[in-house]
Structure formats: C-alpha cells, structure tokens
Structure 1
Amino acid sequence: MTRTPHILWADDEIDLLKPHILFLQGKGYDVSGFTDGASLLEALEEDRLVDVVFLDENMPGLTGLETLQRIKARRPHLPCVMITKSEEEHIMEEAIGSKMADYLIKPLNPNQILLSLKKILDEKRLVGEKAMSDYQREFRELGMRLMDRLDREDWEDIHRRLVHWDLELTASGDTGMSEVLRMQKQDAGRQFARFVTDNYGNWLSDLDRCDGREDPLLAPKVMAESVRPLLDAGRKTLLVVIDNFRYDQWRALGPMLTEDWQVQSERMHWSFLPTATQYARNAMFAGMTPANIAKVQPQWWKEEQAKGSKNAHESDLLGAQLDRWGFSGQWGYHKITDVVSGRKLVEDFHQIRDRDFTAVVFNFVDMLSHARTESEIIKELAEDEAAYRSLTVSWFEHSPLRELLRLAAEAGFELVLTTDHGTVQVADPVKVQAERDVTDNPRYKTGRNLRHDDGVFSVDDPEAFGLPKPHLSSRYIFATERDFMVYPNNLNRFIRYLDGTFQHGGISMEEMLVPLVHLIPR
C-alpha cells in the first residue's frame, strides 16, 4: 500500500487510548478517533478511503456489534476489528459470525494492535515476500537434486515440492518468481521424461514389484494396494475416481474435505501409458495391463478404432478383480457423467449405505479438460494452470460429489480418492506423419508406419510395455514434456487449435504422478 493507511477507531474512552493512537501514527498510520458508533458511521459516509475500523464492543448508544452490522450493510468488505473487555463466548461467536477481521481483548498492548493491522493490511505482501524468500532457497536445493541420479521416491517428492511452490507463489501474486518456477518445472519435466523412457519397460517386466515401495505403483496394482487391505479388514469402503485429476488439483481441493474427513495417508501412483482413460482406468479396475485384458478378457476390451465406448466394461473388470481376491461382500459401481446422475446417486445413498464397497467414477474434470479445447469461453476461464485449479475447486464446492462424501463420512465409510491420469498444458508442437487409421490424440498415437520428429518416445514392442498389438507392425509413440503432435497438413491451423490446451496421453509429471489418498471420517 503506497498511501498512508487510514484507520477509524470508535471507543467511548478514546481519550485514554491517545498513547496507542500516537504509537500507530509513529508507525505510519493515519488514525481518526470517535467516542461513539454513530459518529464513526457519519465519517465513514464522507470518507471512502478507509482501510480498517476498530470498534469497542461496549459503547453507549450503538454498541460495537450494532455498529459493525451497519458497516457491513454499507461496505461488506471493509475489515473491522472488535475490541472488548469481555471474554464471554457468545460475544466472540457473534463477532466472528459477523465476519470480523480480528478480535482483541482489553487491556490493549500497542504491539498487539500493530500485529493486527499488519495481519489485515500487509498479510498478502508479507506472505508473498516469505514465499519468495523460501522458494529462492529451495530453488537452489531443487536444482542440485535435479543433477543427481533420482529414483521413484525422489521424483514423487520433487513433484510434490514443485506443486507446493506453484500454489504458494500463485497465492502470493509474485509473477517474477512464478516465471522462475515455470522454468524449473520445465527442466524437471525434461529429466522426468528421460527417467520414464529409460525405466518404464523394466517396470513392466516385473509388475509385481510395481507396488510403490521401490518401483512406482502402477495402475494395475492400485486397487490391490489401496482398496483390498480395507476390504480384507472388513471396513466399509468408498472408492472415488475423479477422471483426469491432477495432484495440484487435489492439493487445492483437499482442504475442503477437512470438515468431514481426516487424511490417513497420501501417496502418488503412476498412471499407465498411454495416460488416457481407455488404458489407465481399465488397467486400474482390471488389475492387469491392457495387453492382458485384451488377451484374457477380450470381450471387455475395444481397440482404438472400434466404435463405441472404450470404458463400457469397467464394472465387469472390477467385478472380475474382486472375484480373484475372493471378496464376497456387497458392492456396486456408478459412473457419474452429469449433475443429474450425481444428484440421483446422492438421493439414493440409502442403497449405498449398507454395502461393503462402492466405486464411483466422476467424469466432470475430464469433460472440463476437453471443453477447454473446444470452447472459447472455457479457454478464457481456464487460461492457465491456476485458473484450471480454481474451476475444479468451484465445481467441487457445488457438486453432488461433495454431498456424497459428507453422507459417506456420516455413514462411517473409509474413502479412497484417486484418478486414472492427469493432464498437461501443451505448448510445443512436434510433427508426425501416419496413415489414416491412427489415433487422433495429440499426446500419443498408435498405428502403422508412424514417422515423427525427434523428442517423441517410440514403443516398437507394445506387448513389452503391457499394450495390445492389433497388427504385426503396430507401434505406439508418446509426446513428452509439454509437446503435442500435429500433422504437416494444415499445420498452422492445428497448432492454433491445440496450443495452450490441456491434454493427456503422454509422458509428464502432471499426467503420470497422480494422487492416491486414504481418508477416514472425523
């Protein structure tokens, strides 16, 4: 704040507070004193440049609370501080319920008043400066770590730290340090892609090791590692899969669950390649790789070019996995694709209440990601990652999912919250050439005779990577980092169409390192 902050202070003993007023003036604040609430309200009508109001609760005429109510009716966002001799709980509750910025109890200490003002007027600046200072220190530490030989645990921790600083710097509004963070994320993303391409085939060669202890926890092992132990222990369990749900979205949304839930454990699982629903979520519900689904349960697998939904048999795949575990309890599966079906599930919660296990898939975030590509309005609303997070939080706040989770907590369920894959905001085009029957996803392609620029990860032996091979010459190629694949024909049109959109299917921390959270009711 460049101008002198202006404070209005009403107290019937304002003359006795002169030392405090002089102290604040010496600290650079302009303070106007009044002996009653009515006089303060008159001054407030004439002066629009008021930053904070101090109110004594016990004044003759209008009390502090009555004055507060009139201030909030006229200027609802003006910060007000209640000052009182009373520590009675009902007065505190009424003041807090009236959205007081702070609550001070007499006798007052000058530094106590100063701290309250700094918290109200300078909190964002001070928090931003602290965040900038802390990130500058950690920037060097992260930079040194990225030069080391990193393992699965290192990469999960690095992603966790980068997301933390993304949230902190976004909240602080420091665009300069946010740009430094963007460059560090770009460097980390490049090295992460190299780590995955160097090791992914080895992980798939021994899937039993992919349980999150040494090797990454991959999609086919997620249910066995997160849900099965709860069912074996006889605990009622709700599995919620939010399609296309990034780790940063979980970190932004998670605090909204704390009223009803307590986090028991938070970890990451690594989405299956391609990081797309057909592969990653089917692998999770089946408990096996897509290649094995196509071989063992071909009636429940559809190839890329087949018509119809590629995820129409999730309930069948889940049921088969539960049977292999020997699970004999009552269970159900629901896929929520719109608000109407979500509300219907909440209305019918009595049917879920007595089940041992329920799995629910919510598709909104995935639909938001695809709408971001198609709709100019959504492009403006979700211009960058921070706005994309904000839209997700806004959706959850008003969604049937929030009510479902509240009911589940009341019913004593334990909750496993996860996703099939994340998404990345793409920025860099790479050219590919292919026949007509290849997939149209800009983050991965599968088909024959694929030709591409450098930087694309090519899988020439799909079965070694747990992927179906519909033709003898079928290959898969994956975009890494923030790349997206375009064809030479109409090149500029496709670049304009896809640049800056949120896509999934390829190799990036945002797509692959996704939340797996176990929560218990409070």
Structure 2
Amino acid sequence: MQKFNILWADDEIDLLKPHILFLQQKGYDIVTVNSGIDAVEKVEEQNFDIIFLDEMMPGMTGLETLQQIKLLKPQVPVVMITKSEEEHIMDDAIGAKIADYLIKPINPNQIFLSVKKILQNKQLISEKTNLSYQQDFRNISMAYNDAIDHQEWTEIYKKLTYWEIEIGETENRGMHEVLETQKAEANANFAKFIKENYLDWLNDPKSSKPVLSHQVMKKHVFPKVREGKPLFFIVIDNLRLDQWEVIEPMLSDYFVSVSDDTYYSILPTTTAYARNALFSGMMPSDMARFHPDLWEGEDTDEGKNNQEEEFLRANLKRNNLNIRSSYHKIIQVSQGKNVLEQFNNMLKNDLNVLVYNFVDMMSHARTDMKMIRELAPDESAYRSLTLSWFTHSSLFELFKKIAEAGAEVIITTDHGTKRVNKPYKIIGDRNVTTNLRYKQGKNLNFESGKVFEIAKPEEAKLPKFNISTSYVFAVEDYFFAYPNNYNYYVNYYRDTFQHGGVSLEEIIVPIVHMSPKS
C-alpha cells in the first residue's frame, strides 16, 4: 500500500488519539498540530497528501487557516471538521473548495472513509470499473453473436460506449485493449447486419427498421412543434454518441431529458447525403429527382450542403407546417455570437434550426494538422477536446439562454465518425469520389470482402449518374487507398477520423429531446 502523509490540526488534538492510532494502523503517517499557525508552518516545511482542519481553533480559525493553506498548496485536499452546523460556515468552506466536510462528533471509520474517498478514489473506481466490465464482457459478446435486430444493436453500442468512457477515465491500459478488441468484433458483426438488412429497410414496407435520416424531422421534430411556443432543433455535425455522452452532463443543470434516443444515418454517412436527407425528409435519389435545382451531385464542384435551408423549407411545406421558422449555420465564432445577439427574435419563431460545424471541422483538422493529432491521439482525448470546445462555445451559451427562456430543444447530428487504421486498395477513374470511407463511380476495381457494395444504386435510393455507377462502402476501421503513391497515402490517413462508411460509430447517432428545468 502506498504511504500517505496526513496533517491534522485541532486545538484538542490529544482527545483524538484513538482516531490517530486507528489511521496509523491502517498505514497512514500522521503529523499533528494544535493551531492554525502551526498548520501553516508545517505546510510550508513539508508535503502532505491530505489535511484535516478543525474549524473552531483559537487564534487563526479553521477558515482562515484554510485560506492560507490554499495560497501555499492549492492542490492539497482539505477536510473541514466542525461542531457548528451553521449554514454560512458550510458555504464558506465549500466555496473555498474543500474536499470534504465533517461534523463532530466523528468516529474513526468516518475519518477513514473520508481519507479513502479522497486519496484512493481513482484506484477504487478503476478496480470496480474493470471488474464490472469483465462481468458484462460475456453478455455483450453473446448479444452481438446472436441474430439480433436494430434495437438490440443500439443497446450493444450504448453499452460499449458506456464502458469506453468509464474505462477511458482509468489508467488500466490492459482493460482498454480488451474493450478495443470487443468493439472491433462488434463492428465486424454490425457490418454483416447492415449488409443483410439495409436494402430491405428501404424497399420492404414490412421490414422491422430503425428511424433513418430522412424520417427524423417528421417523426422526432414536427410532432413537437407548437404554434407560439419556440422549439430549437440543433444539429451538431459529425457528433458521435460518446462525444454526446460527455457533453450531456453539462446540460443537466439546465435541462431534463424528455427522451434520449438514437436513429440510423443513411449511407453514405456524409454531409452531402445524410444531412441533406435529414433536412429534406427525402432519400438522395428523390432529392435529385424532385429538386434538381437544389441537389448537387458527385459530378459537380459545388458545395454539397449549401441548400439545407431550401430543403428544410420544402420539407415544412410538404408537411403542411405553415409556421414561423429560422435557419442558422454556425461555422465561425462570429456567427455563433450573432445567433446569441438574435436570440430574442428567435423566441418569436415556432421552430429554430441551427447547425454547428465545429466537431466536423475538428476531425478534419486532426487529419491535416500534426498538433491537433497530438492533442487528440485517441478516442478519450478526442472526447476531451470536444468537451473543452463545448464548455467555452457559444453553443453552450445558447443552451443556457434556451433554458432560461423556458423553451424546449432537440439535439442530434447527421452522422458519426470512425477512427480508421487499415488500408483497402481500390482502383477507379479520375471521376471517382475522393472520400476515404465510400467510393461512387464506374468501373470500380477492388477485392470483395471487407466492403459493402451496392451495384444497383436505385435499390439504396441513391442517384445513378450513368449506367455503370456503383457505390462501395468501407466497413469496420478500413479506409480506401489507391495503389498510386500507396505508402505515402496510407501513412498520411492511417489513425485519422473519417466518415462515409459502415460502423457503429458512423451510423447509430443520438437524438435527444430536452425540456428546461425552470
């Protein structure tokens, strides 16, 4: 057991000998003083892992001593012990960032529990987390090896995401590697599931299917629109379920979750297809057919998501929603500030749709910038970077304003992203799409197996640009690479976050309806 040093300051320290002996028997080293001044001197002289302070000492009080200690060693945890139950003393101590607050009379086990909670918290949580995951490991493996439906796959992915976050907060690399292996196996099975069922979802009215991108607004958003009561629909581009799970606790002070759900992104899992489907309420082939003036195909150089607002307007009209609405796309900091400035005007609308592009920009920046890749070398760090952005973002400020105004909000994304590591050779002409997780074009040449090929685009409700057009999607953590300059290409894109293909992370995405606490 690691040796911990404890400083205990109390003007009646002699009466606490039984407590001190108890802690010493448990392996802790205890230094005792009977005044605040002596406590400050000891803190100046040596290092302590935890400090116990009596609040009612003569001379320098416990609170005054606490202030001096925090100036000297702000990171050392301090436990305040007091006879008083006055609320202002408690408030002052908590405001000074104490680690714990105990009221006399105290017993040795109470002190011991406080010490363990503070000093061995990470170790105990890590041990419990690893044990709990080991117990759940077999259940998860059995589940994805059975013949299961889309709802059960969602539950498996939620479980894997939960354990990924929990284990990511521990220092047990061995258990992290076990989880990574299980996630890889799950993704291999999920790819088979998509291959077997995806086309049926689009063509067989009787098939059991999840909500897909083009059905989201009709099923999740439009039924909640009420005239005269503003609803905010926020789309955070390229947001994975695990990223949402680390953001959501920050909103719990302001909102309660009315429904916490998921939907399945259509293929390809990209902005051009999935997000346009989200806003238009149509599959890509229908967008190209009924809105040729809005749809930008792969054969054009125009931006593929510049017509979202027009697609949204057409969707509202088709669903007979004659309402006041607004649409905002936030790419730059100034645009986020403008939204906050216009907030009072937005409250006059029945529906406000906002798209925030930062997470997508971050994933692209991680590919192109070595510094970002070093800041986010793995999924845990990638989540941390997402949380850091959100904490200081105009979007978080917007959520606070929405809650304060008593409005409801629906949060979702268009697709997730997958960390890719395995190259997959493919050959095509110069008109083939450049995306690393899917290819669309004619005369595509590749080795069959670890891909999902759609030879007839019309079956997947995808546009067909010529008679031999086909689509092929990377699965698991593969990415497409051309034979030309192969090694450079592979080294550049390996260990980057990409989207467009088939994986749990790209396809199963969150959609959450929240109501303000106020």
TM-score w.r.t. the length of structure 1 is: 0.97
What is the CA deviation profile of residues 390-428 of structure 1, one whole-angstrom value per residue up to 9, with x for unaligned ones? 000000000000011111111121110000000000010
What residue in structure 1 maps to residue 173 of structure 2? 175
Residue 471 (1) aligns with residue 476 (2)? no
Letter matched to residue 412 of structure 2? T
282, 290, 294: which is aligned to 1:296?
290
Give distance in 2, aligned partners of 1:485 and 1:372: 18
What residue in structure 2 maps to residue 505 of structure 1? 500
SS at match of 1:146: helix
- Structure 2 matches for 1:44-123, cutoff 5 A? 44-48=43-47, 50-123=48-121
Give distance in 1, aligned partners of 2:178 and 2:462: 38
Give distance in 1, aligned partners of 2:396 and 2:242: 18
Residue 377 (1) aligns with residue 371 (2)? yes
Residue 459 (1) aligns with residue 454 (2)? yes
- Structure 2 matches for 1:305-344, cutoff 5 A? 305-344=299-338
Give distance in 2, aligned partners of 1:315 and 1:209: 33
SS at match of 1:295: helix
Query: Does the 8 A contact of 1:217 with 1:270 survive in 2?
Result: yes
Give distance in 2, aligned partners of 1:51 and 1:261: 37
- Structure 2 matches for 1:396-435, cutoff 5 A? 396-435=390-429
466, 484, 489: which is aligned to 2:484?
489
What is the CA deviation profile of residues 23-56 of structure 1, one whole-angstrom value per residue up to 9, with x for unaligned ones? 11111111111110110111111112x1000000
Letter matched to residue 37 of structure 2? A
Query: Does the 8 A contact of 1:236 with 1:412 survive in 2?
Result: no
What residue in structure 1 maps to residue 162 of structure 2? 164
Letter matched to residue 477 of structure 2? R
- Structure 2 matches for 1:173-322, cutoff 5 A? 173-206=171-204, 214-231=208-225, 235-322=229-316
Aligned-residue offset at 1:232: 5.1
Give distance in 1, aligned partners of 2:219 and 2:400: 25
- Structure 2 matches for 1:23-38, cutoff 5 A? 23-38=22-37
How many aligned positions are there?
516
Cα 1:209–1:387, aligned 2, differ >3 Å: closer, same or farther? farther
What residue in structure 2 maps to residue 450 of structure 1? 444
What residue in structure 1 maps to residue 9 of structure 2? 10
SS at match of 2:31: strand
Give distance in 2, aligned partners of 1:173 and 1:236: 45
Give distance in 2, aligned partners of 1:318 and 1:209: 28
Query: Does the 8 A contact of 2:52 with 2:78 survive in 1?
Result: yes
Give distance in 2, aligned partners of 1:373 and 1:353: 38
Give distance in 2, aligned partners of 1:509 and 1:156: 8
What is the CA deviation profile of residues 437-484 of structure 1, one whole-angstrom value per residue up to 9, with x for unaligned ones? 011111001011001123121111111101111111111110000000
Query: Does the 8 A contact of 1:244 with 1:422 survive in 2?
Result: yes
Cα 1:336–1:306, aligned 2, differ >3 Å: closer, same or farther? same
Query: Does the 8 A contact of 2:144 with 2:153 survive in 1?
Result: no
Cα 1:389–1:116, aligned 2, differ >3 Å: closer, same or farther? same
Give distance in 2, aligned partners of 1:249 and 1:368: 13
Query: Does the 8 A contact of 2:228 with 2:348 survive in 1?
Result: no
430, 436, 449: which is aligned to 1:436?
430
Aligned-residue offset at 1:234: 6.4
SS at match of 1:505: coil
Structure 2 residue ranges without an equivalent (≥5): none
Residue 387 (1) aligns with residue 381 (2)? yes
Give distance in 2, aligned partners of 1:233 and 1:157: 35
Query: Does the 8 A contact of 2:309 with 2:327 survive in 1?
Result: yes
Give distance in 1, aligned partners of 2:119 and 2:283: 55
TM-score w.r.t. the length of structure 2 is: 0.98
Give distance in 2, aligned partners of 1:437 and 1:258: 48
Give distance in 2, aligned partners of 1:371 and 1:209: 43
Give distance in 2, aligned partners of 1:435 and 1:425: 26
Letter matched to residue 379 of structure 1? R
SS at match of 2:261: strand
Question: Percent identity between the aligned chains?
Answer: 49
What is the CA deviation profile of residues 232-284 of structure 1, one whole-angstrom value per residue up to 9, with x for unaligned ones? 58642100000000000000111000111111111111111000000000001
Give distance in 2, aligned partners of 1:227 and 1:234: 16
SS at match of 1:268: strand
Aligned-residue offset at 1:87: 1.0
132, 136, 139: which is aligned to 1:138?
136
What is the CA deviation profile of residues 210-243 of structure 1, one whole-angstrom value per residue up to 9, with x for unaligned ones? 8xxx411100100011111111586421000000
Aligned-residue offset at 1:305: 2.7
Give distance in 1, aligned partners of 2:268 and 2:142: 31
Query: Does the 8 A contact of 1:53 with 1:80 survive in 2?
Result: yes
SS at match of 2:225: helix
Give distance in 1, aligned partners of 2:456 and 2:406: 47
SS at match of 1:373: helix
Give distance in 2, aligned partners of 1:323 and 1:93: 55
Structure 1 residue ranges without an equivalent (≥5): none
SS at match of 1:409: helix
